[in-house]
Amino acid sequence: MKRRAVICCFLICLNLFIVRSQSLNDTIMLNQVDVIDSVLRKQPVSVMERKFDTISLEKIRTSNVSQLLMTHSPVFIKTYGPGGLSTASFRGTTAGHTLVLWNDFRLNAPNLGQVDFSLIPVFFSENIGLSWGGKTARQSGGFGGVVALDNKSVFNKGFSTELMQTIGSFRSLGTFATFSYSNRKIHLRTKFFQNSSRNDFEFLNTAVIPKTYMKQPNADYFNFGFMQEVHWLTKYGMLTATSWNQWNDKKLPPIMTNMKKGGKTEEYADEKFSRNYLSFKPIWQKGSLLLKSAYFAERQHYFLRTTSAVSDETVSLVDATNNADIFNEIVQVEQQIFKSWCFLAKVQWDFEKVYSNNYRETKQRNTISFFVETKFSLFRDVHFVTSVRNDIVDGKTQGYFPSANLTYTPVFLKGFSLTLSGIKNYRPPSLNDLYWYPGGNEQLNPEKGTSYDASLDYKLSKKDFSINAHFGAFLSYIDNWIQWKPTAYRYWIPVNISKVFARGFEVHIDAMYKHDNLKYFVSANYVFTKTTNEDPQSAFFDSEGAQLIYIPKHHANLFLNIDYKTWNFSYTFEFTGKRNTSTDKDDFFVLPNYNLHHISFGKRFGYIKTELRINNLFNMDYQAVLWHAMPKINYEFFISYKFI
C-alpha cells in the first residue's frame, strides 16, 4: 500500500512536471530553427532495436512489410498466400503479441489485436525497425517485440518525383508515385500506390483425389492508398501532419480440400482506413516536448455468400461489418538532467470504439498510460535504462510494469557491447475476445508477460567496409494466454487457459564492402525458437513440451546485393523450418520445412532503373499454412523513374 502511494505521488509529480514543462516552452525555446532534434540522441541507446538497412528497403520497396519481414528479419510471417492475411510471430509469440507502431501509434486493431502486414506497403515508410526487450516498454502488448514504421522529413531538397511500375505473373500490377518538395522550413510529400493481381496461379492440389493441377480460384486483390505529409519547421519546433488513407479489397480463396464443394461461393473482405495524426515537437538545448494527436477510422467488411449445389438460391449469407474509431493523445517530455542522466515522461490516452454487427452493442475502451524512463551512465561504459508504466483501462489499474536495461560497452573492446534486459508487460484482451457474439467472454483477464534478453553486439565501420553483428538470447513467460476453445453450446469462447514459455536465440549479421565500382552488401538472420504450453492441461492432452502451432523452431534468411557500376544483382534466400499445425507430438499434419530462392537483375539508365525479378526460382511446391496453395516460380518486371 505504501509502495503504491509512493508511486501515485510520483505519477502526480510527473503530471505537474509535464504541465510545467509546457509552460516553460516559451521561455527556453531555441530560436535556431534548423535544429530539428535534441542532443538527447547522443545519449547511449539500447541495442535492442534494429533499423532495416536502406539497401533492403530500397530493394523491396514495391512490396509489403510482410515480404520485408519474411526475407530480411528474424520475424516469422504466417501468410495465407499473395494478398492474403499475413501475421507475425516475433520471438516465439503469436500475432497478437507483435505490436505494430506507425509514428508511435498502435496499428493493432482493437477488435482483433493483430495486424495484417500484407496491407502495409513498404513504400509508405522511410524507416522500418524492430525492437524487443526493454525497448517495448512504452506500450502494452509487445511481448514478442515491436515493428515500428516511421516517416522521416527532409529539408532543403527542392522538388523530387519518383514513379515506379511493376508488372508480373498472374496479371499483377503495381504503380507507385512520390511527389516531394522541401525548402528550409517546409517539407511536403505525397505518395500514391495501387497494386492488384488476379492471383490465379497454378498449383498441384495434393489434398484431393486424384491429385490435380488447378488454378487458384477467387484470390484476386486490389489495394489503393495515398499518404500526405506536411512537415513545418516553425520557430517553436517541428509541426507535422500526416494522413494515410487506404482501400483494400481481396477475395478469399477456399482451402485445397474444399475445391470440389458444390454451389458457388462468393467470399471477400474489404477494408478501408484513414489514419491521421498531428504532432508538434518543440526542442530546447537539453530537452524536448512531444505532443501527438491521432484519429484512425478503420472500416472492415466481410462477405460470404454460398449458393445451393442444386439451384441458384442463396443458402448461406454472412455480411459483417466491423468498424472502429480510435483516438490517441500523447504528451512526452524528455530532459537531460545531468551530463549522463536523461529523463523521459510520457502520458498517453487511447480511446477505442468498435461498431460491429458481431457485438450486441457498440463497445469502447479507454486507456490512460503513464510512463517514465531514466537513462544514465556509470563510468564511461556502463549505461542503464529503467522505466515503469502504469496503465489504467476503463478506470481499473492494470498494475505497474517495470523494465530495466543494462548496456556495457567496454572501452578496451571497441565496437562491442553487451546488453541485459528484463521487462514485465501485459496485453489486454481484444474487444472481440470480450464482446464477440456469441462467445465473447467479459471475465477474461489480461495476459501478463515477463521477458529477459541478453545480447552481444559488434559494430565496425570503415571507409570501404562495415559490419554489424548481433547475437541474442531471450526467455519469455506469458501467463493467462488467451485461447478460444469449443464449448457445449456449439460456439467457441475465449478463456485464459495457458502458460506459455518461449525461449531461443537469434543471430543477425550484415556487412558492406566497397571496392572500385563494386559494392557488396550481405545481410543474414537466423532464429531458433522453442515455444511450449506449460499449462497443466497441456499434459492431459499429451501436448506438454510440444512446439506451439505455426511457430517454426528454425527460421533463417539471407540477402545478397551486388552493385557494379549501373548493374545490380540480388539474391534472397529464406528457410522456414517445419511447423506444427497441431500440438500433438506425433502429428501427421506437420508442415515440412521449405527453402525459397529469389533473384533479381537490374540496370540503371540515368534516371531510369529497370529490374527483372524471379521469385521462387526453383519452382518449389510448398505450403505456408496447412492446405493453402502457394505460387510456384513467378516473374516481375520493375521500372522506375526518379527525378531530383
Partner 1 sequence: MKKINYLLFAIVVIFSACSKDNDNNQNQGIGKGFFVLNEGTFTYANASLSFFNEDSLKITNNLFFRVNNVPLGDVANSMTHWNNKLYLVVNNSGYIYKVDEKTILYESQLAGMHSPREILIISDTKAYVSDLYEMGFHVINPSTMEYIRFVRTGKSTENMLLLGDEVFITNWSQYEQQMPNNTVQIVDSKTDQVIDSVIVTKEPNSMVVDANGKLWVLCSGGWEGEETPALIQIDPQTRTIIKKLDFDALSYPSRLSINKQGDRLYYINSDVFTLTVEDSHLPEEPLIEAGKHYFYNIALHPQTATLVLADGSGFAEKSYVFRYHDDGRLIDSVQAGIMPNKIVFNY
- Contact residues for partner 1 (CB under 8 A)? 206-209, 211, 255-258, 260-263, 306, 308-310, 313-317, 483-490, 492, 537-538, 540-543, 546, 549, 581-584, 586-589, 626-627
- 18 phi and psi, to 5 degrees? -65, -45
Query: To the nearest whole angstrom, how small is the minimum distance from the Cβ of residue 256 to partner 1?
Result: 7
Q: Which three cell numbers, joined as nine digits, stand for 355?
A: 461498431
Beta 145-150 vs 98-102: how paired, if at all?
Answer: parallel
Nearest-CA neighbor of 189 among 153, 148, 229, 136? 229
Q: How far apart are CA 269 and CA 298, in angstroms?
A: 13
Shortest spacing between CB 227 and partner 1, in angstroms:
34
Residues in the chain: 644
Closer to partner 1 by Cβ: residue 214 or 382: 214
Q: Which amino acid is at 379?
A: F
CB atoms within 10 A of CB 207: 17
State in angstroms the smallest separation of the CB of 212 from partner 1: 11
Q: Which CB sits closer to partner 1, 28 or 317? A: 317
Using CB atoms within 10 A of its CB, is residue 588 exposed (0-12), middle (13-18) or buried (19+)?
exposed
Residue 200 C-beta: closest distance to partner 1, Å: 21
Residue with smaller CB distance to partner 1, 200 or 267: 267
The beta strands (E) that lie in 172-237 are given as 172-182, 186-197, 202-205, 212-215, 221-233
**Smallest distance, partner 1 to C-beta of residue 203, A:** 15
Residue 9 or residue 208: which is nearer to partner 1 going by CB? Answer: 208
Nearest distance from residue 383's CB to partner 1, in Å? Answer: 43
Nearer to partner 1, 487 or 566 (CB): 487
Q: Which is nearer to partner 1, 260 or 462 (CB)?
A: 260
Cβ at position 537, least distance to partner 1 in Å: 7
| Closest alpha carbon to 335 in 297, 290, 401 | 290
Omega before 438 within 30 of 0, i.e. cis: yes
Cβ proximity to partner 1, 270 vs 584, nearer residue: 584
Helix segments in 361-498, DSSP class H: 431-435
Q: CB of 410: closest distance to partner 1 in angstroms?
A: 46
Please say whether the beta carbons of 470 and 50 come within 8 A.
yes
Q: Are 114 and 86 in contact (CB under 8 A)?
A: no
CA distance 66 to 33: 38
Identify which of residues 309 and 413 has a Cβ nearer to partner 1 in the complex: 309
Closest approach, Cβ 207 to partner 1, in A, equals: 5
CB nearer to partner 1: pick between 379 and 489? 489
The CA distances from residue 42 to 203, 270, 336, 484, in Å, are: 53, 45, 11, 46
Say whether 638 sits in a helix, a strand or coil: strand
